[in-house]
């Protein structure tokens, strides 16, 4: 997380601990995407990431937490 903060990079992870906004507030990093997937195989991850790329065209990611599953995206704003 520290490297992402220093380099202005978004963190994409399968680690559900990062969905805890008390431990990782959205405003503490450039953006955080937590993949909450029942299946974590390569094809599922690629499909979800392709859907996210389309969403990035209309939704800002900066200082936000995106929690993504196979069918939906929940977005938590800073503060």
The pLDDT-based confidence of 78 (bands split at 50, 70, 90) is: low
The pLDDT-based confidence of 42 (bands split at 50, 70, 90) is: very high
Q: Identify any residues that bridge with 11 across adjacent strands, giving them in sequence order.
A: 32
Residues 6+ apart with CB under 8 A from 78: 25, 26, 27, 63, 64
CA distance 79 to 69: 23
pLDDT of res. 36: 97
Rounded to an integer, the average pLDDT of 32-41 is: 96
Phi, psi of 13 (to 5 degrees): -145, 155
Whose CA is closest to 52, among 29, 35, 38? 35
């Amino acid at each position: 997380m520290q490297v992402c903060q220093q380099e202005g990079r978004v963190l994409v992870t399968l680690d559900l601990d990062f969905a805890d906004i008390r431990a990782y507030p959205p405003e503490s990093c450039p953006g955080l995407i937590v993949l909450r997937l029942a299946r974590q195989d390569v094809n599922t991850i690629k499909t979800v990431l392709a859907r996210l790329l389309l969403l990035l065209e209309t939704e800002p990611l900066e200082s936000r937490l995106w929690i993504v599953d196979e069918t939906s995206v929940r977005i938590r704003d800073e503060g």
